Amino acid sequence: MSTTIQVSEKLQKELAKRKIYEKETYEEVIWDLVEDSQELDDVTKREIAQARQEIRDGRYHTLDDVKKELEL
């Protein structure tokens, strides 16, 4: 079910500034804001912890390493 909401002109201008592309709807902008404020799930938290451990262990490639490997 769709509904209409009323927002102030100030908020409408702020939402317009947050659009990534011109035809993005205000609903999409609001969903992006909601997503940014949500808690990370357990899988994501584990993956972040794993990535941090890999970096501490030196298991990563710098951009320069990749460029050399690809001869760029």
Share of the chain above pLDDT 70, in %: 100
Report domain extents, the chain: 9-38, 40-72
Residues 18, 40: Cα–Cα separation, whole Å: 22
Position 49 confidence tier, pLDDT thresholds 50, 70, 90: very high
Give the DSSP letter of residue 2.
-
17-39: per-residue pLDDT in tens? 999 999 999 999 999 999 888 89
Which residue's structure tokens are 């939402």?
15
Given a cut of 90, is residue 1 above it in pLDDT? no
54-71: per-residue pLDDT in tens? 999 999 999 999 999 999
Sign of the dihedral through C-alpha 8, 11, 17, 19: negative
Q: Report the predicted TM-score, pTM, of the whole model to 2 decimal places.
A: 0.56
